[in-house]
A and B are shown apart, each in its own frame.
Chain A
Amino acid sequence: AQTVTQSQPEMSVQEAETVTLSCTYDTSESDYYLFWYKQPPSRQMILVIRQEAYKQQNATENRFSVNFQKAAKSFSLKISDSQLGDAAMYFCAYSGGSNYKLTFGKGTLLTVNP
């Protein structure tokens, strides 16, 4: 079974600084997708960034980028120029196989200090 591990239950960063959230996963699939979701206090699940496993190039969305290391099964999220609005719970998620289930990590609570 696929598993997703987020080893940092909580992280904090100073406004305008950079922070990296860690995620590792386990799978026997060769083709899969990885996601980072943001959940603010409103509890809405917001897609931050996604990565296709067969693409070697790391995905980037404005201030958000990933470091995808397929061999190491690692998928970290880097947030540059952190803003107060980035404070939220962040979930790493995996999707692979034919049933398209999303498997989530336990989440990392990010605090942004002014």
Chain B
Amino acid sequence: DAGITQSPRYKITETGRQVTLMCHQTWSHSYMFWYRQDLGHGLRLIYYSAAADITDKGEVPDGYVVSRSKTENFPLTLESATRSQTSVYFCASSVGTGMGGYTFGSGTRLTVV
């Protein structure tokens, strides 16, 4: 969906480096989410945000940091990348009515070597 953009699409980084994954949405959705997808685990929530400057932990937040200074941006930072953080990362947004649905980015495949 053209309304939510993730970058980069692919990233290879070394253990211990800081990495930031970008997410930008044009819908002005209040809610934004970061998920990681791993084989056998489905998609697991890392962090979410209900509005600018409001963020909260999801199921697997350790090792990740988020910020949301503007409604449209929700970057995800791996402070010191580990091999266990090799995954596909999805950003999503929602207007917040549940039935309003969720818009997903195309995902970032991150490999930590």
Contact = CB atoms under 8 A, between A and B. Distances in A.
Contact of B104 (A6, A44, A106): A44
A100 B31 contact: yes
Interface of B: 31, 33, 35, 40-45, 48, 50, 56, 58, 88, 90, 92, 94, 96-99, 101-102, 104, 106-107
Interface of A: 6, 32-33, 35, 43-45, 47, 50, 52, 91, 95-96, 99-107
Given A100-B97, A102-B43, 12 more contacts: A44-B104, A44-B107, A45-B104, A47-B101, A50-B101, A99-B48, A100-B94, A100-B98, A102-B33, A102-B102, A104-B35, A104-B44
A23 B58 CA distance: 22
B99 A33 contact: yes
Contacts of A32: 98
Nearest to B101: A47
